[in-house]
Amino acid sequence: MNRRIAVFAVIALGVIGTSYSALRAQAERSVWDGVYSEAQATRGSTLFDKECAGCHGPDGEGGGMAPALSGAAFNANYDGQSVGDLFDRNRTTMPVGKEGQLNGQQVADITAFMLQVNKFPAGPSEMASQAMMLKQIKYLAQKPADR
Dihedral (CA of 32, 35, 38, 44) sign: negative
Task: Verify binding: residue 66, ligand HEC, rule CB under 6 A.
Answer: yes
Write down the least CB distance from residue 4 to ligand HEC, Å: 59
Write down the least CB distance from residue 53 to ligand HEC, Å: 8
Tell me which of 31, 35, 41, 52 binds ligand HEC, using CB under 6 A.
52
**Interface region with ligand HEC, contact rule CB under 6 A, candidates 7-15, 24-32, 61-69, 124-132:** 61-69
CA–CA dist 99, 11 (Å, integer): 53
CA–CA dist 112, 126 (Å, integer): 8
CB 43 within 8 Å of CB 109: yes
Give the interface size with ligand HEC as a residue count (CB under 6 A): 19
CB 47 within 8 Å of CB 90: no
Tell me which of 41, 69, 115, 140 binds ligand HEC, using CB under 6 A.
69
CB 63 within 8 Å of CB 55: yes
Q: Return the exposure string of 105-121: e unless at least 16 CB atoms fall within 10 Å of the residue's CB, then b.
A: ebbbbbbbbbbbbbebe
Residues 86-115 vs ligand HEC: string with x where CB under 6 A? ---xx--xxxxx------------x-----
Tell me which of 30, 36, 43, 51 binds ligand HEC, using CB under 6 A.
51
Binding site for ligand HEC (CB under 6 A): 51-52, 54-56, 65-67, 69, 74, 77, 89-90, 93-97, 110
